[in-house]
Structure 1
Amino acid sequence: MEVSRSMKDIQWLRHRVGQFLCVGFDGLTVPSHVNDLLTTHHVGNIILFSRNVSTTEQLIQLNQELQTIAKQGGQELPLTISADQENGVVRRLPADIPGLPGNMALGATGNAQWALKSGQLTAQLLRHVGINFNLAPVLDVNNNAKNPVIGVRSFADTPDMVADFGEKFIQGLQSQGVIACGKHFPGHGDTTVDSHLQLPTINHGRPRLERVELVPFRRAIEAGVDALMTAHVVFPAIEPKPIAATLSRRVLTDLLRQELGFNGLIITDCLEMNAVANTVGVGRGAVMALQAGADMVLVSHRLDRQLDALASIVQAVETGELSQDRIDDAYQRVANLKKARLTSNRRVRPWAQLIEETRTLQHDLAEHAVTKLRWESPLPPSVRRVAVLVDERVPVMVAAGDNHSPVLLADALQAVRPDLHSTVFRFPETLQQVRTDDLLAQLRQYDFVLIGINGGENKDYLEFVHQVHAQSILNVTLLLRSPYDAHLVPQSTNLLALYENTPWMAEAAVAAMFGGTADGALPVRIP
């Protein structure tokens, strides 16, 4: 009898611990090991990435299958199925659903009501495909132009503006029944290191953190945000030990819970990021995060690390390292959030109507976001032949993945001005085949040159662009990835900021070049 009760207790504990774990996997269908995680371990939370997404129909089927497996396996509450649908460069919805401009493009509109509308439509799209937990918005204040991981994922470089837009986006998501998650607490905006790769440190004192980094999070808490995601960043002013905020009780419990009064769900950023995996390790990190005050730990990729996290948490409870009170508290927060957001049946709008409304919002946001930084040489109406310069040596933001398209600008020209004839020159390939003087002579045969800037890694390309700018060749330069790249092209007379290399922003920029709306204003200061 004792053995049976002991076995039952162990099973109960494992099932409870499974609700603390959020896991990811490869593939467009449910792998057998995920089936086992959902049924044997009662893992209660899934995260999806682009690797899991093909079409709308496929994504709906995947999410329905995940929920069915969990229910048939004995889980009483639905799974949270999450994704990083920040919009812009970080998006997970399939390509057959219209995309929306991301945070910095929203900031460029200067109107936080656009963020509310974007949040509402994003939530409705997510709900249609079965995603109920959006790991957005980013609430980091991007006040460091060299930040490699946040950048245009932030709304702005001022705390009040980030707070205004973040609050509206949160309201939009939650008003439509989708869990919103502000990130990355207590701030990831002033780093020059990507925590996917290393452990960053923000050395500012507490007064500065109060004035800048913490402002958007305070506002989000006051607005009733459902969840907050932790940052794998060291904050010596709060936690003297050289550990990530994710693992710090001083950050998650003393500051976030007690000082700021946050009563919602705390979820970690992925524990497989090098800032944790290469320091304390995933299993140990899961235990430390729960001890610190987290309620859900994210392990996005490898099964062995997911099983390590589960086993480590169970062992920590059995040895008393994790108290029963802490386990009960975390479990209750997960369960309460699921009951509040996932158990009601909301009316689903007609899909065709939702898609059309999204397309309209995409267009309106894009034209109000495109920003003319300089516009000294307008294009004459007679232009017909366009040379398009494309830099193919593009820096990759880990969170966004490799979303570079060499035909982005040519496609945008075709969509907006099908009467134009464009020729694409790809770099560095073109410079390897044609002498610089000969190439400049070729470009003079075109009515104007359209130049895309994708960062500063390709020095030879930038040097050639500088030569084009120095010639009497009519040109327009587009900052495709970041407005901070403006310093790379100081001689450009026609310079537009797009904030993201997406088709809708490229088309809005082309339209603006020929007299269309470009109402955007920089939401950040350019050094």
Structure 2
Amino acid sequence: MQIPRSTLKFFLLFLVFTLSSFGQTNKVSKPDFLKYEYNTWVDSVMQTLTNREKIAQLFMVPAYSNKGGQHLEELLSLVQKEKIGGIVFMQGNPEKQVKMMNQLQKASQIPLLGATDAEWGLGMRLKQTISFPYQMALGAVQNEDLIYKMGEEIARQLQRAGLHMNFAPVVDVNNNPNNPVINYRSFGEDKYNVVTKSLAYIQGMQDHNLLVTAKHFPGHGDTDTDSHLALPRINHDIKRLDSIEIYPFKKVIDAGVSGIMVAHLDIPALDSTQTPSTLSKPIVTNLLKNQLGFKGLVVSDAMNMKGVTKGNEPGIVDKDAILAGNDLIEFSEDISKAIAETEKALKQGILTEEDLNKRLRKILAAKKWVGLDNYVSISPDGIYDDLNTNNALLLNRKLTGASLTVLKNKKNLLPLKRLDTLKIASISIGEERQTKFQKTLGLYTRVKHFQLDREAGKREVLKLQQELGNYNLVIIGLHDFSIRPQNVLKLSEEVKEFVAKFSKSGNTIFAIFKNPYVLDKLENIEQAAGLIVAYQDSPVSQELTAQLIFGGIGASGRLPVSIGKKFQLGSGLDLDGGIRLGYTLPEDVGMDSFVLNSKIDSLMQEAMDARAIPGGEVLVARKGMVVFYKAYGFQNYTDTLRVKKDDLYDLASITKISSTLPVLMQLVDEGKFDLEAGINEYLPYFENSNKADIPFRDILAHQARFKPWIPYWKNTLRNNGSFKWNTFKQDSSRRFPIKINDQLWLHRNYKKKIFKAIKKSPLEKEAAYKYSGLAFYLTPEIIERITGESFRKVLDERIFDKVGASTLTYNPVKKFPLSRIIPTENDFLFRREAIHGTVHDEGAIMMGGVSGNAGLFSNANDLAKLMQMYLNMGEYGGQRFIQTKTLKDFSTTQFAENNNRRGLGFDKPYLKYAGEDSNTSKSASKSSFGHTGFTGTMAWADPEKDLVYIFLSNRVIPNRENTRLYKLNTKTKIQQAIYDAILD
């Protein structure tokens, strides 16, 4: 569109008066790249170009690495024949993009400037790359340093992908909730917050030599029209525009931003001719360049958008954009005509050669600044690993976690405490399958999961409501239906009513994985007991929101926008985290992911290849965060059933420190159990035995002269190999109620015979260290006598339910399907069957599966909760279980002077490291403690390195004679690998 010169002259005089409020900013910093405007390389290039070639350098064309050979040929033609200046990469994948860019650069006389829209990183355009949080979520982050680091990382990634310029950030102030095109792409509605976040992002990129483009000048935030589809109009007066829309642009210009993109907008207060701002010289040249003093690259928004193409002819409209003052033109619909029309304007004197040269020098200076004067082709080798580093993934997690915003927390419901009092249900609205959010909730405690279709009708909603009557806490995740968080709510009326009802229930936590503006469309949501805004529906946001609910991480986010009358700008509550295990990447706690993963994977594979174990679970936690948690192999050598992380393993002797020991420590704290008292103090039956008056301190430290073990089941046999009449029967009855297996039922009083055998067993001659499990058959009864409650009830109520260890249990087959329970030995002597679903230890099964010696099953995650409580010196989930001094006493070597390494119940490292014969790795500290199990298990905590290590396997398959795991020393080698991965 051509404005008549007489009209333009009058309008420019008008602007001198009306735009005086914008003024020349006092401290405008020239973009850094401009120092190369008169560089030798720039001069040399300028001398080689014709005027037409100079004009061609102003144009950037789109490239798609997911298109075929014809598209590449078309691009090569534009590069070779038209000699365009740059490429804007769109959809595709990084490997193909790099190869394409190398071909185009090779064909180009002058190195091409490569750009892309990567507002939230390469994931905005390229598959298999990282998407950082959208800017709306980043607007909630209170730590700008994280956003600076994101700028650094995005610069690194774009450069690795062969690019030099990012059409980001969006610095528009989004003060219109119904904005269809900016919205979640903005840092929010507060201009100061927008500026702070924008500057951090810009500085991070520019400090690492990436050109940036603040957009969309003069401000696209208060529109309800998408400029891709039509020309939006902004009717604000100059005073308002200056104070809100243009404010962020002034600040980034002052800070030396390298580029600004001009939007397609109709702004009568700045140009009354209805000319799109991209084509408006009063807006681009007079306001942006002259009044605001911007000296950097002025980039047009895409010239194929309806906001500028309507009523304008391709080619001519691009020339008009150049005449308006734009330096770089992207997405021209007709490159040849655009260059020709611009050359015509040059010959006519409408565009001067001096102006053209000045723009070209800027562009070449920018190319010099990013290193294109010494262009080196980019290797595609290893690009996916280079773009998806653990540090980048960790940064993404940190940004997401920092954005989470808690808007409601009645009665300090969050983070959840007293898990033993809660019966929890979770509902995912809008997802057909169990979500990452729900799976992560399930890591913390037992949760019943439900799905609710967003279009659910009355019958489905009513059925769900009836089922929820059985739960006293409901957690609802509201998920998005689109890949990007639009301000749209697509729920049936019945589902809306369901949300409104539970918002008022007083026992419901809502997690909103959507655009925060949708809160204004949810009735009663402001009355929810708990309300968390996650801003978008990504696996990371789901996982971290679940961790937040249980206190694995904290919250500090603040709303970057106001939500009608429900929530004000800046709303948000701080929540402390770290009260329970969190889940993160090793780098977050000073560990090396590669070392950790490669070494453990290799050692586990070695053990499986050697048939030392068919599979297993390994978990590593440091500083209260689980950083490694994997399941390996199969449940059995003959199985096709793979081990899953929620499968249960027989813990064997780890039962000793996981069942009676924590309760005994509590009873010590309560003054009900005395470590210096003898066994007869609590079991009068032992009053006249050889074990009377032996202190429990000696017993628990395995220095009480007790025999290591008694083969109880062998005592039931006659000489001919059959069972004695008062021991076992093939069928159950009132007298034989204890199930060993379907064909073997034990006499109800046989427990007394076990106790009698322990009582009468001889003592070792010397009071030296001798590992014995005998006393742990007795400790459950001691606990029952002291508490007056059943042992199982005491364990569940005092320990397991409170830490949320739902799989830490005896007789798991009563609670879990057999498919989730890992089998152990093929027993051809006693039970005469493959042991599956019941405890491996013969003595424990004869105690009904419940013993202090063995019998507990668990997955690695739940066992880690108990070990983390120990590592925390008795505290977990915001509750104190055991006093610090008591735990320190129990976890300290008791009789080192007697060459006994043991604590009270806990195992300890050898007093002197003995190489591969040691029970721990060389790096395990002397303050570390834990236990191992006969089935091939290990649980260990190290206070000095703040470590928890869990190893679960069933090495006793096919039978206990399989000792390859010990010969390979797999458990301790993995433990050493964990220490090797520590960087700090």
TM-score (norm 2): 0.46
Q: Distance in 1 between matches of 2:438 and 2:247?
A: 41
Shift in Å, 1:94: 3.7
What is the aligned counterpart of 2:520 among 483, 487, 492? Answer: 487
Q: Paired residue for 2:887?
A: none
Other-structure match for 1:523: 560
Give SS of 2:453's match: strand
Q: Residue 452 of structure 2 corresponds to which residue in structure 1?
A: 425
In the alignment, is residue 165 of structure 1 matched against residue 197 of structure 2? yes
Shift of 1:95: 4.4
Could you tell me how far 1:157 is from its partner in structure 2? 1.4
Deviation at 1:253, TM superposition (A): 0.8
**One of 130, 154, 166 as aligned partner of 1:122:** 154
C-alpha change, 1:277 and 1:175, in structure 2 (3 Å) is same
Equivalent residue for 2:237, pick from 192, 202, 205: 205
1:504 is the counterpart of 2:529: no
- CA distance in structure 2 between the partners assigned to 1:239 and 1:366 by the alignment: 41
**What does residue 44 of structure 1 align with?**
85
- Corresponding residue of 1:62: 100
Amino acid at match of 2:394: T
Matching residue within 408, 411, 436 for 2:436: 411
Q: Give the C-alpha shift of residue 37 in structure 1.
A: 0.7
**1:24 aligned to 2:62?**
yes
Contact 1:106 1:114 in 2 (8 A): no
Partner of 2:120: 87
Aligned-pair distance for 1:92? 2.9
**In structure 1, C-alpha distance between the alignment counterparts of 2:180 and 2:438, rounded to whole Å:** 30
1:151 aligned to which of 172, 183, 190: 183
Structure-2 residue corresponding to 1:386: 426
Residues 453 and 480 of structure 1 are in contact (CA less than 8 Å); yes or no, is this contact kept in structure 2? yes
Q: Which amino acid aligns with 2:98?
A: I
Post-superposition shift, 1:286?
Answer: 0.6
Matched, 1:451 2:487: no
Cα distance in structure 2, aligned partners of 1:427 and 1:374: 24
Single out whichever of 151-160 and 467-476 deviates more from structure 2.
467-476
Query: What letter is aligned with 1:81?
Result: G
Q: Which residue of the other structure, out of 113, 116, 131, is the alignment partner of 1:99?
A: 131
1:73-110, Cα deviation, whole Å (9 max, x unpaired): xx22x21111111117x943544333322322222112
**SS of residue in 2 equivalent to 1:47:** strand
Match of 2:265, SS state, is: coil
| Cα 1:421/1:17, change in 2 over 3 Å | farther
Q: 2:394 aligns with which of 348, 360, 366?
A: 360
Q: CA deviation at 1:436?
A: 4.3
Partner of 1:399: none
Q: Which amino acid aligns with 2:203?
A: Q
Larger RCO (CA within 8 A; separation ≥ 6):
1
Query: Which structure has the highest helix share of the two?
Result: 1
Query: Which residue does 1:370 correspond to in 2?
Result: 404
How far apart, in 2, do the equivalents of 1:104 and 1:46 lie? 28
Cα deviations by residue, 1:445-497 (Å, 9 ceiling, x for unpaired) = 67635231546655543551332431559544333332122111242313221
Q: CA deviation at 1:262?
A: 0.8
Partner residue in 2 for 1:134: 166
Distance 1:214 1:442, change over 3 A: same
Q: Which amino acid aligns with 2:452?
A: F
Aligned partners of 2:399 and 2:375: how far apart in 1? 27
The amino acid that maps onto 2:514 is R
Report the Cα distance in structure 2 between the residues aligned to 1:422 and 1:486, rounded to whole angstroms: 24
CA distance in 1, matches of 2:375, 2:145: 23
Distance 1:451 1:344 in 2: 52
Which residue of structure 1 lines up, in the alignment, with residue 292 of structure 2?
260
Once the 2 structures are TM-superposed, how far is the Cα of residue 363 of structure 1 from its aligned partner? 1.6
**For the pair shown, which has the larger CA radius of gyration, 1 or 2?**
2
Distance in 1 of aligned mates of 2:285 and 2:561: 32
Identity, in percent, stands at: 27
Gaps of 5+ in 2: 1-46, 481-485, 565-984
Q: 1:390–1:290: structure 2 CA closer, same or farther, 3 Å change rule? A: same
Amino acid at match of 1:478: A
**C-alpha distance in 2, partners of 1:132/1:214?**
26
| Residues 306 and 480 of structure 1, relative CA distance in 2, 3 Å threshold | farther
Contact 1:22–1:298 (8 Å) recurs in 2: yes
Aligned residues: CA RMSD: 3.1
Structure 2 match to 1:34: 75
Counterpart CA distance in 2 for 1:371 and 1:270 is: 35
> Take 1:284 and 1:232, find their aligned partners in 2: how far apart are those partners?
16
Quote the Cα distance in structure 2 between the aligned partners of 1:365 and 1:69. Answer: 40
Conserved? CA contact 1:367–1:518, under 8 Å:
yes
Residues 341, 25 of structure 1: CA spacing in aligned structure 2 closer, same or farther, 3 A cutoff?
closer
Give yes or no for contact 1:81–1:133 (8 Å, CA) kept in 2: yes
1:469 is aligned to 500
Contact 2:156 2:208 in 1 (8 A): yes
Change (3 A) 1:458 1:322: same
